[in-house]
A and B are shown apart, each in its own frame.
Chain A
């Protein structure tokens, strides 16, 4: 069964600090890995998407890494801002059935405080 596990479950940091979120997956056959940011009660918004041949991708203050051998990914947020408070979801895509089926992690709930 395809699974995506994220850690920590929740995190509180001070504004301006950096943090790293972790994602481990067991999805096969692997297509790509995405990180989404989801504000409470809203739809997820894509931050990065990486295929197996990419091991790092940045989007502003967000940098994602991927190790396809160990099936691990991380999302690093630098110089955090209050607006970064949200749930960060790791999503892995596979080619099952010829389509693009996504397996979602349960997310890391990040709170940035003054």
Chain B
């Protein structure tokens, strides 16, 4: 049983470019959350997708957008990249119970290291 997978593992972009990161959830999971982790910091919540819709969002600008597909996989898109967007982007999957994620553990992928030059 594959866990959460993310691609690519590393990515280098320049300012102003756009990037798409991909995540496949753990088998049996239907909810995907995205996090940004700057060096030496804890992960910061970007948004969460369930039933192909964005359900919750953290304090990130509209440059950050996402999508969830019918197979529960997800993409994170970042437009007009800034130097400050350089970080480890983590995807976590979980399974909803009775309409909300109750105590269900979030399993994290290995992350995508994005460097913006």
Binds B, one of A13-21, A55-63, A67-75, A102-110: A102-110
Taking CB atoms and an 8 Å cut-off, the chain A residues in 30-62 that contact chain B are 31-32, 34, 36, 41-46, 49, 51
Known: A96-B56, A99-B48, A99-B56. A44 touches B43 (CB 8 A): yes
Q: How far is the CB of A38 from chain B (nearest CB, A)?
A: 8
CA distance A100 to B29 in the complex (A): 14
Taking CB atoms and an 8 Å cut-off, the chain A residues in 72-114 that contact chain B are 89, 93, 95-107
Number of interface residues of A (CB under 8 A): 28
Of A4, A49, A96, A99, which is in contact with the most chain B CB atoms at under 10 Å from its CB? A99
Q: How far is the CB of B8 from chain A (nearest CB, A)?
A: 14
Closest to A4 in B: B42
Residues of chain A contacted by B101 (CB below 8 angstroms): 99-100
Q: How far is the CB of A89 from chain B (nearest CB, A)?
A: 6
Contact A43 B100 (CB under 8 A): no
Chain A interface (Cβ within 8 Å of chain B)? 4, 31-32, 34, 36, 41-46, 49, 51, 89, 93, 95-107
